[in-house]
């Protein structure tokens, strides 16, 4: 059974060019290897689109919970009151919720890079996209997750660039050249924009 895929959001601009590429250039007809690969491309693209949007929601929710915790402590008039706020059931609940969001955010971020790497690998099976790559996705997946030159597990996020893995502290001796993670949203946008330009170039008549 073929999967029912949700509409693209973050990667929505790739939908039309991909449809034209597989219709006009690949001319994939079922059953064929090309049609099977095309089905995987569609599914992987839907997966990474979901993960980027899900990470954005998780990040925003985590920030909201942490801000609520900070505001509750700040409103307490005296140091002893602040300690009571921190020890309160509401505070413990906020901290537990934030911890769960943090876990899921990092999980979604790392999952994005694995699925994105597979997405690119399948694209490379087509002659016109054989050498396509996205440096940000490649560097995070290869250097910071799969073959970690940096073992430090620190990570964080920012509103604009998204979650970044192993890019907070300084690199250890001998690993100074290991690339930094620019952030999930930055790397996902790079993948989207590079691929959109590549597809449109293929589809533009000389």
Nearest-angstrom CA–CA distance, 101 and 108 = 10
Residue 46 has pLDDT above 90, yes or no: yes
Residue 1 has pLDDT above 60, yes or no: no
Whether 43 and 52 have beta carbons less than 8 Å apart is answered as no
In three-state secondary structure terms, 156 is strand
Q: Note the pLDDT tens digit of each residue in 129-184.
A: 999 999 999 999 999 998 777 888 889 999 999 999 998 878 888 888 888 999 99
Structure tokens at 181: 């993670």
Whether 194 and 134 have beta carbons less than 8 Å apart is answered as yes
Q: Note the pLDDT tens digit of each residue in 64-118.
A: 999 999 999 999 888 888 899 999 999 999 999 999 999 999 999 999 999 999 9
Is 52 part of any domain?
yes
Is 125 part of any domain?
yes
The domain of 121 spans 12-132+184-203
Place of tokens 């925003």: 60
Which of 4, 119, 2, 99 has its CA nearest to residue 52?
119
pTM of the entire predicted model: 0.93
Residue 206 has pLDDT above 70, yes or no: no
Q: Residue 191 CB: number of other CB atoms within 10 A?
A: 25
pLDDT at res. 167: 85
Is 38 part of any domain?
yes
pLDDT at res. 3: 65
Nearest-angstrom CA–CA distance, 42 and 38 = 6
Residue 150 CA from chain centroid, whole number = 20
Is 145 part of any domain?
no
Is 199 part of any domain?
yes
Q: How many domains does the chain have?
A: 1
Is 53 part of any domain?
yes
């Amino acid at each position: 059974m073929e999967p029912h895929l949700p509409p693209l959001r973050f990667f929505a601009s790739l939908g039309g060019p991909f449809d034209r590429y597989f219709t006009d250039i690949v001319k994939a007809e079922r059953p064929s290897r090309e049609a099977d690969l095309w089905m995987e491309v569609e599914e992987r693209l839907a997966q990474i689109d979901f993960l980027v949007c899900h990470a954005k929601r998780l990040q925003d929710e985590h920030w909201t919970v942490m801000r609520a915790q900070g505001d509750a402590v700040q409103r307490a008039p005296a140091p002893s009151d602040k300690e009571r706020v921190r020890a309160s059931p509401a505070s413990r609940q906020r901290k537990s919720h934030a911890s769960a969001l943090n876990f899921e955010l990092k999980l979604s971020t790392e999952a994005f890079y694995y699925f994105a790497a597979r997405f690119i690998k399948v694209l490379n099976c087509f002659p016109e996209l054989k050498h396509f790559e996205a440096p940000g996705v490649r560097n995070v997946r290869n250097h910071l997750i799969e073959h970690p030159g940096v073992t430090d597990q620190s990570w964080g996020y920012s509103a604009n660039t998204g979650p970044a893995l192993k890019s907070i502290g300084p690199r250890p001796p001998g690993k100074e050249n290991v690339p930094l993670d620019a952030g999930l949203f930055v790397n996902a946008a790079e993948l989207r924009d590079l691929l959109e330009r590549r597809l449109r170039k293929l589809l533009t008549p000389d």
